[in-house]
Amino acid sequence: MPALRREADMLDLFLGGGVAFGLAAYLLVALVRPEKF
């Protein structure tokens, strides 16, 4: 089922991007507001 495989790849990419975006946002906040960490 190539269609299902493609959807799984898109889901992995979406989750990976979400984790990377969240980590970048966390680091940005830590740099801007270090007193909160």
Contact 2/9 with Cβ under 8 angstroms?
no
- Overall pTM > 0.75: no
pLDDT of residue 4: 77
1-37 pLDDT, tens per residue? 567 788 889 899 999 999 999 999 999 999 998 776 6
- Look at residue 15 in the predicted model and tell me its pLDDT: 92
Which residue range forms the structural domain that includes residue 30?
Answer: 2-36
SS (H, E, C) the chain: CHHHHHHHHHHHHHHHHHHHHHHHHHHHHHHHCHHHC
Question: How many domains in the chain?
Answer: 1
Q: Which residues of 1-37 are buried (b: 16+ CB within 10 A; e: fewer)?
A: eeeeeeeeeeeeeeeeeeeeeeeeeeeeeeeeeeeee
Contact between 24 and 16 (Cβ < 8 Å): no
